[in-house]
Amino acid sequence: MNRSKLPDFTDRLSTANEARKAQLERAKALAEHPERAERRKEREAIVASRNTRIAERQAAEAAKKEREAEDRAAVEAAEAAAREAAFKLEQEARAARDAERASREAERGTREAAEETQRQAILEQRRASRKAKKRKGR
């Protein structure tokens, strides 16, 4: 074989280094190109405006959720107040019925006591008249 035609290790190493340097210079040239910088700025502006719109949308959603929560709280408070008022009315109605029932029972108790007293008086009178008849009959 002919060794002069085959590159040795140092030649291959230097060729690889030169290729790397050339690739790096092309990348630098592309990076420093004015159009590329302008496109990057445009993309950054687009991204910034998108982020701003997203933030505004999130803020609007948060405000909406907060309003809905406040509305729910107001509705729940109104419902609780209505339940409390209904409960108080029911208690007052029950208390009025209980008072009426108690007064009727007291009236009936007074009437029954008066009737009982009258019955006792009639029985006493009958006993007394029987005793009197027995005494007369003797």
- Angle separating helix axes 34-137 and 9-32, nearest 10 degrees: 70
Is there a domain that residue 38 lies in? yes
**Using CA atoms, how far apart are residues 84 and 55, in angstroms rounded to an integer?**
43
Is there a domain that residue 92 lies in? yes
Per-residue pLDDT, 1: 44
Is there a domain that residue 2 lies in? no
- Residue 124 domain boundaries: 33-137
Is there a domain that residue 108 lies in? yes
pLDDT average per 10 residues of sequence, the chain (138 residues) = 70 93 90 82 96 97 97 96 96 93 86 89 91 78
Per-residue pLDDT, 107: 85
Per-residue pLDDT, 109: 83
Per-residue pLDDT, 29: 84
Is there a domain that residue 13 lies in? no
**Using CA atoms, how far apart are residues 80 and 88, in angstroms rounded to an integer?**
12
Tally of domains within the chain? 1
